[in-house]
């Protein structure tokens, strides 16, 4: 049974998480992202993609300027900032959908928040840049803290677990402690189990299956899950390219909703919105009251 949360945003709005699954659209303003690298590198193309996602019903839009695919090289902060700021500025003026900046760098996050973003999505869980936590606190932004070990360039070497769920829960609890020490309100935090980050296919699959495990539920924060087009799907689909993994993504989105995810992060908004709505309807039918709770 999914818990309900309210996430305050710095512009006075709030995200209501729980009554239905929110769908976050992904825009990678990069040349090298695993799924759509180069597609939205041009500002105009990225803005058009964001407008389309808003029209299709996206609840959130996540914009990133640095690839976090396995083995990806780091991007200098000034280049990352250059890629994303104009996109965020243009979208903030034209859509009401809350915008998220996917970055690990305080410098980039500050520029993105100035441009109109209201959420910081940090795949490092506040571990990469000590200045990011205090910035998020000072701006009263919402923040997504993801589980990852190492950095994208070397994270595969850290995919060794004796107790997968227990270790992920413990390490996310450490991220929450870092956030609290930085002055971030607990109500502002969303957690992400980090599907595909420092995890082999069997680890990602197990986390999707056990997102409602007691150790993870004890963290008492809403969940964002990002299975879209990721390589773990190949364990079931075979060697198919990212763009051909939409049906596999759909199955993973359903599993995430059934396990209690509050937000799903996807590349194809219209299709996955339908998937999430049907999954929500089935979850509601399982509730004694007939409503998601």
pLDDT tens, 50-93?
999 999 999 999 999 998 766 667 789 999 999 999 999 999 99
Residue 111 predicted with pLDDT over 70 = yes
| Edge-first strand listing for the sheet containing 119-122 | 189-192, 142-146, 119-122, 99-102, 60-64, 22-28, 263-266, 224-225
Active-site residue (options: 149, 230, 245, 268): 230
The predicted structure's pLDDT at residue 68: 77
Distance CA 112, CA 44 (A): 17
Q: Is 199 marked active-site?
A: no
Distance CA 174, CA 209 (A): 23
CA distances from 69 to 32, 33, 105, 181 (A): 8, 6, 17, 29
How many CB atoms sit inside 10 A of residue 2's CB? 23
Q: What percent of the chain has pLDDT over 70?
A: 94
Q: Confirm if 15 and 9 have CB atoms less than 8 A apart.
A: yes
In this structure, CATH architecture of domain 5-286:
Alpha-Beta Barrel (3.20)
What are the tens digits of pLDDT across the range 220-242? 999 999 999 999 999 999 999 99
Residue 31 predicted with pLDDT over 80 = no
What's the chain's average pLDDT? 93
Residue 205 predicted with pLDDT over 70 = yes
Domain boundaries along the sequence of the chain: 5-286
The predicted structure's pLDDT at residue 64: 94
Active-site residue (options: 265, 268, 277, 286): 265
Task: Compute CA 189 distance to the chain's CA centroid, rounded to the nearest angstrom.
Answer: 12
Q: Is 265 marked active-site?
A: yes
| Residue 174: Cβ-neighbour burial (10 angstroms; 0-12, 13-18, 19+) | middle
Residue 281 predicted with pLDDT over 90 = yes
What are the tens digits of pLDDT across the range 121-159? 999 999 999 999 999 999 999 999 999 998 887 898 999
Strands 263-266 and 224-225: parallel
pTM of the model: 0.93
Q: Hey, is 58 helix, strand or coil?
A: coil
pLDDT band at 203 (very low <50, low <70, confident <90, very high): very high
The predicted structure's pLDDT at residue 256: 98
The predicted structure's pLDDT at residue 291: 54
């Amino acid at each position: 049974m999914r818990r309900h949360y309210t996430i305050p945003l710095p512009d006075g709005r709030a995200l209501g998480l729980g009554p239905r699954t929110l769908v976050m659209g992904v825009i990678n303003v990069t040349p090298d992202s695993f799924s759509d690298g180069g597609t939205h590198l041009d500002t105009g193309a990225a803005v058009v993609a964001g407008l389309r996602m808003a029209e299709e019903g996206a609840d959130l839009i996540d914009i990133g300027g640095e690839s976090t695919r396995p083995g990806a090289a780091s991007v200098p902060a000034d280049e990352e900032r250059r890629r994303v700021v104009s996109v965020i500025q243009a979208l903030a003026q034209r859509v009401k959908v809350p915008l998220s900046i996917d970055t690990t760098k305080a410098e980039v996050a500050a520029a993105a928040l100035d441009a109109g973003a209201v959420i910081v999505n940090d795949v490092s869980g506040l571990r990469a840049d000590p200045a990011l936590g205090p910035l998020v606190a000072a701006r009263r932004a919402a923040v997504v803290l993801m589980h990852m070990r190492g950095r994208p360039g070397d994270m595969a070497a850290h995919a060794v677990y004796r107790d997968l769920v227990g270790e992920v829960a413990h390490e996310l609890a450490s991220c929450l402690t870092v956030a609290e020490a930085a002055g971030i309100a607990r109500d502002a935090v969303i957690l992400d189990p980090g599907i595909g980050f420092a995890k082999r296919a069997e680890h990602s699959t197990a986390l999707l299956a056990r997102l409602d495990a007691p150790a993870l539920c004890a963290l008492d924060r809403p969940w964002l899950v990002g299975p879209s087009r990721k390589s773990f799907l190949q364990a079931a689909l075979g060697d198919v390219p990212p763009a051909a993994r939409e049906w596999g993504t759909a199955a993973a989105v359903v599993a995430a909703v059934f396990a209690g995810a509050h937000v799903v992060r996807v590349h194809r908004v219209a299709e996955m919105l339908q998937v999430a709505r049907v999954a929500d309807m089935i979850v509601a039918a399982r509730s004694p009251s007939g409503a998601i709770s």
